[in-house]
Structure 1
Amino acid sequence: MLAVFPNGEHRFCLRHIHENMKSKWRGDLYKNLLWSAGRKTSIPYFNKAMEEIKTTERAMYDWLNEIPYTAWSRAYFSRTAKCDMLLNNIYEVFNRQIIGARDKPIITCLEFIREYMTKRIMNVKKLQAKCMGPLTPHATEVFDEIKKQASEMFVLMVDTDKYQVTGPRSQCVVNVKHKTCACRKWDLTGMPCKHDVAAIWDMSRNSIDAGIPEEWVYDVYWLSTWKKVYENVIEPINGPEMWTPSQCPTTLIPPKHHTQVGRPKKKRKKAFGEKELEQEFDKGGKMTRKGTNIKCGKCGNMGHNVRSCKG
């Protein structure tokens, strides 16, 4: 990866880190401590979260210190990617869509993916035609919530570029010239946080031409950028019977394969934690009664119900 993308940022999926951690430290207590540290966007708050882990379980603290902070905590993410995701759900979603093609030959698999991507592009274009902008639909929802929180902020103007923004539970320094905030959310995502929006509104109140807050959002969230991503299409192709035969003199021979006994498995191997979660629910989505003590409503004894009662 470093040879192809020398400047690429390498991150780990925090859910997979938690799966590896559960072999030694299980339970909601350790899970919440891990996620609390991963979600912190500034180093001081991250250090406090790590100190809490150290106080609770020193061995877990030492185990996490062996993993680079830049790979799993927002506090150490760079501001280049404009993304603060802690999971790799985007890959899991795509992997789920091609379940029907993963056991097929390579050409059939590629054809399945091509047709799926063609349908996806057209569905997105239909959605884009209904949008008004200036931001994408999801970005608009997120930014509306940020503006709602910004209305609770108190702004102290220090200079035309620097502001001290105080809220119910935070106080941060905002530099609108460099588009930075002490909480680092603007740095990480490219979308102004509640402190930044409050400072932008204060600029307008002081006759500084700041425009609307949406103009300060990074280009990646704009509807026009979203449309550029999907402006190209995947060209359709004719059927295999119309393909030009290859002129390559080399014949590719299929690799040696020993067919295993039984029906081949299509589903991926799930982690131990995922199996436990699925066992708690039946096919109808309800909690199973396995492992619970049943009391008979007829005789009052334990271990059976009214239907199987013999007394």
Structure 2
Amino acid sequence: MDKLAVCTDACKGLEAAMKTVFPQAEHRECFKHLMDNMKKKFRGAIYSKYMWLAARAYLLNKHEYFMSKVIAASAVVLPWLNEHHNLLWARSKEQTLKLFAKRMTISRALKGTILPIVVHQMNVPSKGLGHSKVTKGDRNQAEVLVVYKDEEVRRHVVYLDQKICTCREWKVSGKPCQHALAVITTERNPNMEQYIDMAFSVEKFKATYAGVIPNITDRNQWPQVDKGESI
């Protein structure tokens, strides 16, 4: 089960069960549940703003920067997180049965290599990269200089053949970042699919939703069981 990742809420019982049943799996925690718990103890927009930014950050230094804002607001935040929420932060999905049914239907109509919606997500931002300046070292390597509205300048290096950018977004997400897109679009009629990780392939999507989740009756029809004690 070393390839399994399980995302749960902050239930300590589930955490203990995970260690017993799936000891080698990666245990993640739903970030929404984390924030629901946090709001009960720490109030203020600074927590919700910077915690979400920290959860979504790709670079470690950015994560630490946003977390420093949270920690500066209260000295007890970090000890509280370490004690009660020390798992990897992740997102949860609801209505799994309906989601599977819908996506199974979608998967049957899909063709091609990469999911069309993912390719579309890359093509749209690739048309608005006028603020990026590309300097190529060779076909597969380039520097990308980005000038923001506040005149802040940042430079990253993109390695197309390795699917890597020094901003780390491409490696983490599996989809080209804005710097990579700036380099890719310097080519004539680029094949966007070849730069997207196979995790977003039609084949993987079909495999994900090929299984069947058993339907269940309402709880009034469940067998009556004598538990012996009240929980």
Corresponding residue for residue 132 of structure 2: 153
Between stretches 155-164 and 16-25, larger displacement belongs to 155-164
In 1, Cα distance between equivalents of 2:82 and 2:103: 42
TM-score (structure 2 length as normaliser): 0.67
Structure 1 segment 254-273 matched on structure 2, within 5 A: 255-256=225-226
| 1:96-152 CA-partner distances (Å, limit 9, x unpaired) | x5xxxxxxxxxxxxxxxxxx96x5476325xx43x5655324323422334234454
Distance in 2, matches of 1:146 and 1:57, equals 38
- Quick one: which amino acid aligns to residue 156 of structure 2? C
Structure with greater contact order relative to length (CA < 8 Å, sep ≥ 6)? 2
Change (3 A) 1:213 1:141: closer
Residue of structure 1 aligned with 2:162, choices 178, 182, 186? 178
Choose between structure 1 and 2: higher strand proportion: 2
Q: Which residue of 2 aligns with 1:291?
A: none
Q: CA deviation at 1:192?
A: 1.2
Change in 2 beyond 3 A, CA 1:172/1:120: same
Give, as a single letter, the amino acid of the residue that structure 1 aligns with 2:121: V
Which runs of structure 2 are paired with 1:46-61 in the superposition (5 Å)? 46-61=63-78
Q: Which amino acid aligns with 1:142?
A: Q
Q: Distance in 2 between matches of 1:2 and 1:211?
A: 46
Match of 2:29 in 1: 12
Change beyond 3 A, Cα 1:178–1:229:
same
Contact 2:126–2:185 (8 Å) recurs in 1: no
* Pair 1:192 & 2:209 matched: no
Q: Give the paired residue count.
A: 196
| Structure 1 residue runs without a partner (length 5+) | 73-85, 98-115, 235-252, 261-311
Structure 1 residue aligned with 2:106: 124
**Structure 1 counterpart of 2:171, one-letter code:** D
After superposition, the CA RMSD in angstroms is 3.5
The 3-state SS of whatever aligns with 1:58 is coil
1:142 and 1:30 mapped to 2: Cα distance? 30
1:28 aligns with 2:45: yes
Residue 70 of structure 2 aligns to a residue whose secondary structure is: helix
CA distance 1:6–1:213, shift in 2 (3 Å): farther
Q: Distance in 2 between matches of 1:14 and 1:28?
A: 16
Q: Which amino acid aligns with 1:135?
A: I
Note if contact 1:155-1:164 (Cα within 8 Å) is conserved in structure 2: yes
TM-score (norm 1): 0.52
Q: Per-residue deviation at 1:18? A: 0.8
Structure 1 position 22, deviation (Å): 1.5
Q: Is the 8 A contact 1:42 1:182 kept in 2?
A: no
Distance (whole Å) between structure 2 residues aligned to residue 154 and residue 120 of structure 1: 42
Q: Structure 2 unaligned segments of length 5 or more: list them.
A: 1-17, 149-153, 213-222
Structure 1 residues 144, 177: closer, same or farther in 2, change over 3 A? closer
Cα offsets for 1:56-99 (capped at 9, x unmatched): 2222244335544x712xxxxxxxxxxxxx3112xx2227x5xx
Report deviation, 1:6: 5.7
The structure-2 alpha-carbon separation of the partners of 1:166 and 1:191, relative to structure 1 and needing over 3 Å to count, comes to same
Could you say what secondary structure the match of 1:158 adopts?
strand
Picking from 207, 217, 221, the partner of 2:200 is 221
Post-superposition shift, 1:49? Answer: 1.0
Contact 2:115/2:200 (<8 A) preserved? yes
User: Could you report, residue by residue, the CA deviation over 1:18-49 in whole angstroms, capped at 9, with x for unpaired residues?
Assistant: 11111211233321121111111101111211
Whole-Å Cα distance in 2 between the matches of residues 7 and 197 of structure 1?
A: 36
